[in-house]
Amino acid sequence: MTDVTQLIDTHCHLNFDSYDTDRADIITRAAAVGVTRVINPGINAETSRAALELTRQYAGVYAAVGIHPNSTSSFAENDLTWIEELARQPKVVAIGEIGLDYYRDSSPKEQQFRAFEAQLALAAKLELPVIIHNREASEDVMSVLEAWVRDLPPALRERPGVLHSFSAPQSIADRTLAAGFYLGFTGPITYKNADLLRRTAASVPLDRMLVETDGPFLTPVPHRGKRNEPAYIPHIVERLASLRRLTAAQISEATTANAVRLFALS
């Protein structure tokens, strides 16, 4: 594996129970290959609080807090109270992951929209970027985001958020970029049947790309079929470098700078 340094995994669910037996080792393995910081997004109240707790245990871990679309069936306006309370804590760098998911039938679309728009409004109020989940809902996600960005406070206009684990068509990538968002790329860009996604990744401006695991899911080749973890980020970096005819070090430097800028990291 090519040596890369100072990488940031901008989306890994380190609080999930599949990491409970070896979480400290996972963080050590990541650091050994240069992945020194990880952003852990919540998907509901319990996981958002767990993500925040991990930021207190590990220096390189940051959190995002919010309600995933598949967890919105019981969403109510008073949920915004705990989200805001957590979001104001040190090392919480975004609202997320939030968005729309039409693949799973976990929550009615009306509830997903209510939660999505309410959390976007809170993010604007708090001047925090958003981590967006989009699964088979691209048109609706982009319509909501394009309306949201029109009235953002100055502090967010250049860093509204990221569409994480991007897998939508090129036309959606173009709209995402036009709205000011970053695109996060995960293990699927290493998969055999992902030529369209690789073409999109090759076309995205270098200053608008992030690298993510979405661990424990979407494990890249050559570890596909196993649990994903931040130490596998270099495989994604190497694939992006090959696509763009750059070095792994250049992708590492760019994506790290992008993550620092988007999430206002030190």
Confidence band of 2 (pLDDT split at 50, 70, 90): very low
Q: What is the pLDDT of residues 55-105, one digit of tens each?
A: 999 999 999 999 999 999 999 999 999 999 999 999 999 999 999 999 998
The pLDDT value recorded for residue 105 is: 87
Question: Is the confidence at residue 4, as pLDDT, over 80?
Answer: no
pTM, whole model, 2 decimals? 0.97
Helices (H) and strands (E) in the chain, counts: 10, 8
Q: Domains (ranges, CATH) in the chain?
A: 7-262 (3.20.20.140)
CA distances from 161 to 64, 72, 129, 235 (A): 12, 20, 5, 24
- From the number of C-beta atoms within 10 Å of its C-beta (0-12, 13-18, 19+), residue 210 rates as buried
Side chain identity at 266, as an amino acid letter?
A: S
Residue 5's pLDDT is 65
Task: Judge whether residue 3 has pLDDT over 90.
Answer: no
Q: What is the DSSP letter of 158?
A: T
Helix (H) or strand (E) holding 231: none
pLDDT at 164: 98
Written as six digits, the tokens of 194 are 């992902």
Mean pLDDT, residues 192-210: 97
The per-residue pLDDT for range 118-148, each reduced to its tens digit, is 999 999 999 999 999 999 999 999 999 999 9
Give the per-residue pLDDT at 1: 44
Structure confidence by residue, pLDDT tens digits, 146-188: 999 999 999 999 999 999 999 999 999 999 999 999 999 999 9
Asked if the model's pLDDT at residue 110 lies above 90, the reply is: yes
**pLDDT-based confidence at 39, cuts 50/70/90?**
very high
User: Tokens at residue 98, please?
Assistant: 């939030």
Give the whole-number percent of the chain exceeding pLDDT 90: 97
Q: For the residues of 83-134, what is the DSSP string, one character each?
A: HHHHHTSTTEEEEEEEEEESSS-SS-HHHHHHHHHHHHHHHHHHT--EEEEE
Per-residue pLDDT, averaged over 193-208, amounts to 97
Please, what is the average pLDDT of the chain? 97
